[in-house]
Amino acid sequence: MSTASEPGHDRSEPALGTVIGERRQLVNLAYRLLGSLAEAEDAVQETYARWYAMSRQQQEAIESPGAWLTTVATRVCWDLLGSARVRRERYVGEWIPEPLPDRMEWISGSAVNRAERADPADRVTLDESVNMAFLVLLESMTPAERVAFILHDVFRYPFAEVAEILGRTPAACRQLASSARRRVRAGRAPAVATAGQAGVVRSFKEAWEARDIGALVDLLDPDATMIADGGGLAGAALRPVEGSERIAAYLIHMASRATGLTLLERTVNGQPGLVAQHAGITVTVAAFGHADGRIARIWAIRNPEKLRPWNGRS
């Protein structure tokens, strides 16, 4: 994708600063719509490609380049969401949104030329709308519900603008967002303070390292669920593991086979999580959902394609 500093585009292009300055907002929007940083950046690149494919006169005729870019990026994402269900039917095992590291995790890694790279924390704002539990809830929505909800409830676009982007009436978009909101309310667990989450995650890490199955069971909600995503590229349970005792037994079994593995406390999508490394390479990122002081959900991402930002690759 061409930028203001790249050759091939005159710096006097109409609203060039505005056009380039929209990129972070577009990536933030696209990541929430798609649940994948890689796909989000592809969608934004396609958006800019369409902008630069226009003639100078066509660009000048656009009253608000930022609004145009948002509309195009959203529609590109909408198309991708429509095909995602088909693609995920062929996906090996469970699919989990791509996890995002904290800025310090990105900066402190060992990849070469890191100073020249833009870290995910600069690309995506880490707030409640990107925590893993929320992103998983978004997966239960239809593409239209997800787009209407994200645009209105997260990015505060008026329904009139949402309607223009989706090609529907404001009333229809209001209904889509309302339906999505009900899904969120039905699936969202009570909020838990970050400090409380961190303490439970730390205890979970210590119990796993000590191979203490009893402690693991105590830390897990009796109806807890663990979902792993290997994508056929890394070993992972193909179906959810349900129940505290089954999860604890599974984790102890994996611990007995995980020689040379280092478990680290890290921020995952803005919340306390764990990262497993082997020989300095991140092989698993775990995010957690909490309920009543215990862990109710574990999302373990092992697909190496989804761990590229954790290993210094964009």
Query: Distance between CA 300 and CA 208 in Å, rounded?
Result: 14
- What is the separation, in whole angstroms, between the first and last Cα of the chain? 14
Please name which of 183, 185, 202 lies closest in space to residue 142, comparing C-alpha atoms: 183
pLDDT at 260: 86
CA-CA distances (angstroms) from residue 36 to 84, 146, 172, 238, 312? Answer: 11, 14, 27, 20, 16
Model confidence pLDDT, tens digit, residues 252-309: 998 888 888 999 999 999 999 999 999 999 999 999 999 989 999 999 999 999 999 9
**If 0-12 CB within 10 Å is exposed, 13-18 middle and 19+ buried, where does residue 125 land?**
middle
Contact of 274 with 302, CB cutoff 8 Å: no
Query: Distance between CA 226 and CA 250 in Å, rounded?
Result: 10
Q: Which domains does the chain have, with CATH numbers?
A: 1-90 (no CATH), 194-311 (3.10.450.50)
Model confidence pLDDT, tens digit, residues 195-246: 789 999 999 999 999 999 999 999 999 999 999 999 999 989 999 999 999 9
Is the whole-model pTM more than 0.95?
no
Please name which of 232, 235, 225 lies closest in space to residue 284, comparing C-alpha atoms: 235
